[in-house]
Amino acid sequence: MNIHDSIIAIVLIASLGFFASLGAREYQERLISRIGFFTMVLQTIAVLWAVMLWVINGANPIHMQEITLYATKGYSFIIDFYIDSVSVMYMSVGVFLTSLITRYSRYYLHLESGYKRFFNTILFFNIGYTVTVLAGNFETLFIGWEILGISSFLLVAFYHERYLPVRNAVKVFSIYRIGDVGILLAMWASHHLWHENITFFKLHNYTLVHEHLSGHSVIGIFISLCILVAAAAKSAQLPFSTWLPRAMEGPTPSSAIFYGSLSVHFGVFLLLRTEAFWQHQPSVRIIIGIIGLLTTLFAYPVSRVQSTVKTQIGYASIAQIGIMFIEIAMGLQTIVLIHFAGNAFLRTYQLLISPSIVSYKIRDMQYHFNPNAQSVEDRLPEKLRNTLYVLSLREFYVDKVLTILVFGIFKYVGKKLSFLSTANIAIVLPIVYGAALLLLLYQQSIPPMLSDYIPNMVAIFGLLLVMRSFVERKRPRLSLFLVIMNHLWIALGISFNESFDAMHLYLYLSGVILMGSLALVLLTLLKIKEQSYFDLNQYYGHIYEHPRLSFLFFISILGVMGFPITPTFIGEDVIFSHIHEHQILVAFAASTSYVLGGISLIRIYARLFLGNHVKNYHEVALKTS
């Protein structure tokens, strides 16, 4: 078996293990755990074999072009794989720690009601991790990136009968969605810079990169900053740091593998993977270093005042990743990889033993209590010390500022659109959309000065619809319908740009229309069954009595938001490639719609199907538990 076959085997083993786990029954704990463990053992063997062959062949970067999913004139969507020292380190650490977690979870989650669901999600995460680490271009990386985001939401909301895990899962997904926009905009700008789907292998061609950036320095900085936003969101760097401790609501094994060791380091991975592109842009390196430094200075005092061991470990990990950002800015790639491995192993160990340590410390304090020695903070003036303590407890108000500046603006605009009720939308939307279609049909008769503004106006109108969906609280079907209409308006706005293959529109809208229609039907069925408990003002927990309907609705909204299960995933990338370089407003409207639409859909699912069950004959956990 050569290295090419070994890489394919790594991906196939991860996929087959996940699908095999889906076939097991809920009560078959031994079978489920064995599928998970042996999947990871086989994948570990395949990884070790691939690494050995890579080293024997000289440890040089290897690029493999595998599958062309879609190709047309001037565009192709290709699944690429790329092997170098970064992917080798991440693969090796990933398979070892995931194997450890699957073994540990076999006993830790014994007799847990969600035993199968946990292993399904871990193996699903393993697919995303494998694809992301081995990705050879942005398109392939984005497939794994999306899988990581969804599996993270599912693991944080594992105890879906409780309020806090569900609320925090939605918050984590919202921050991840911001990171997804960074990747999307970087892909969009890259299309215009390279006029192709650039591979990570080509980025190491200094002459090629220098030639393209010499006359397009602004685009180069824009791409680099988009990548940095995605990396900062994924690795919980400022201003996105506060989601990581809240993600610790999931089971301890998932906290260890996600937020202690693997998933939280993907921001570091993204910067390392694209380093060849931005390393000769001093301004970008300075910004990366500053973000890392500020995050470290922020996370250290906040970790000192945490009341739970898991959140303390979470902030300690954030501080270490901030140091990794500084090392990346300095070009110390080897040190970063060693630092990543050390931090991943340490945080996994700390989180897995944290329940035992807490129990031991409680007993130890009862019998052998000694007051702490004088700390560094005790040497500070009392007023400054107290101020730092209160600010650290409040997390320096980072979360509040982010909520107001990012989501608060969209909520404000959405509430101003409250006149868009079901009746008004049924009248206004067809008329306005029909008028826009007429403009498209007679585009040649429109004055050139006016035609340049029409795509912006249509795309902004679509963004307003999804803003209205973002704040809707009474009518779930209206919220869902507005997200679907947003996709139609974005597609229409981009259609004004040029005459392109209609297949591009079909690709983009196929999953939206099909899955959106299915979701509307499912919500109608739920409304018939639960007439009195059908709005978005609280969590209703309908998954208890309607598990199949809940599962189908979750799959359908994934299709609407562009998850890689329908052609819409490819269509999104194709449609973005038709947004012109100067159409910043259209790109902003499309990407922002992508964020808000995904959050609105997940919010509908979470509030209707997750949380405490509204009927009192089911078990109900305390809201603060």
Give the per-residue pLDDT at 318: 92
380 pLDDT exceeds 70? Answer: yes
Q: Are 35 and 21 in contact (CB under 8 A)?
A: yes
* Residue 624 banded pLDDT, cuts 50, 70, 90: low
Give the per-residue pLDDT at 401: 86
* Residue 621 banded pLDDT, cuts 50, 70, 90: low
500 pLDDT exceeds 70? Answer: no
Residue 357 lies in a domain: yes
Give the per-residue pLDDT at 188: 86
Nearest by Cα to 120 from 90, 155, 145, 94 = 155
Q: Sign of the C-alpha dihedral, residues 93, 96, 98, 101? A: negative
Which tens digit of pLDDT belongs to each residue from 36-57? 999 999 999 999 999 998 998 8
105 pLDDT exceeds 80? Answer: yes
Give the per-residue pLDDT at 620: 66
Would you state the structure tokens that stand for residue 131, as one six-digit string? 């694809």
Which tens digit of pLDDT belongs to each residue from 280-304? 888 899 999 999 999 999 999 898 8
Is 188 in the same domain as 314?
A: yes
Is 325 in the same domain as 446?
A: no
Give the per-residue pLDDT at 44: 92
Q: Residue 71: how many CA atoms within 13 Å on its side-chain side?
A: 4
Residue 408 lies in a domain: no
* Residue 483 banded pLDDT, cuts 50, 70, 90: very high
Residue with tokens 């964020």: 595
Which tens digit of pLDDT belongs to each residue from 235-252? 989 888 888 888 888 888
Residue 389 lies in a domain: no
pLDDT, average across residues 208-222: 79
Residue 375 lies in a domain: no
Give the per-residue pLDDT at 269: 94
Q: Are 85 and 95 in contact (CB under 8 A)?
A: no
Convert 326-349 into a string of H (helix), E (strand) and C (coil): HHHHCCCHHHHHHHHHHHHHHHHH
Phi-psi sector, 83: left (phi>0), alpha (psi -120 to 50), beta? beta
366 pLDDT exceeds 70? Answer: no
* Residue 499 banded pLDDT, cuts 50, 70, 90: low
For residue 183, CA distances in Å to 67, 277, 477 come to 21, 14, 30
63 three-state secondary structure: strand
Which tens digit of pLDDT belongs to each residue from 114-146? 888 999 999 999 999 999 999 988 888 989 998
Is 109 in the same domain as 207?
A: yes
Give the per-residue pLDDT at 285: 92
Which tens digit of pLDDT belongs to each residue from 466-479? 998 888 888 899 89
Is 357 in the same domain as 423?
A: no
Is 210 in the same domain as 62?
A: yes
Domain range holding 452? 417-609
Report the chain's terminal Cα–Cα distance, integer Å.
Answer: 52
Of 447 and 281, the one with more pLDDT: 281
* Residue 331 banded pLDDT, cuts 50, 70, 90: confident
**φ, ψ of residue 57 in degrees (nearest 5):** -80, 10
Helix (H) or strand (E) holding 105: helix 85-108
Is 74 in the same domain as 179?
A: yes
Is 352 in the same domain as 422?
A: no
Give the per-residue pLDDT at 321: 94
Q: Are 587 and 129 in contact (CB under 8 A)?
A: no
Mean pLDDT, the chain, as a whole number?
85
pLDDT, average across residues 510-529: 92
622 pLDDT exceeds 70? Answer: no
Residue 99 lies in a domain: yes
* Residue 277 banded pLDDT, cuts 50, 70, 90: confident
Which tens digit of pLDDT belongs to each residue from 218-239? 888 888 999 999 999 999 898 8
Identity of the amino acid at 252: T
111 pLDDT exceeds 70? Answer: yes
CA pair distance 127, 10, nearest whole angstrom: 10
Residue 477 lies in a domain: yes
Which tens digit of pLDDT belongs to each residue from 51-75? 998 998 888 888 887 787 777 776 7
Structurally, how many domains does the chain consist of?
A: 2
Of 290 and 375, the one with more pLDDT: 290
Is 351 in the same domain as 479?
A: no
Is 603 in the same domain as 487?
A: yes
Give the per-residue pLDDT at 503: 77
Residue 391 lies in a domain: no
Give the per-residue pLDDT at 601: 93
pLDDT, average across residues 321-339: 93
Give the per-residue pLDDT at 311: 86
**φ, ψ of residue 64 in degrees (nearest 5):** -130, 120
Is 500 in the same domain as 573?
A: yes
* Residue 365 banded pLDDT, cuts 50, 70, 90: low
Q: What percent of the chain has pLDDT over 70?
A: 94
pLDDT, average across residues 583-601: 88
- Give the Cβ contact number of residue 518 at 10 Å: 17
Would you state the structure tokens that stand for residue 282, as one six-digit string? 């001093």
* Residue 97 banded pLDDT, cuts 50, 70, 90: very high
pLDDT, average across residues 384-389: 85
Is 201 in the same domain as 345?
A: yes
Cα–Cα–Cα angle for 497, 500, 501, rounded to 5 degrees: 150
pLDDT, average across residues 164-186: 88
Residue 386 lies in a domain: no
Is 85 in the same domain as 166?
A: yes
Give the per-residue pLDDT at 501: 67
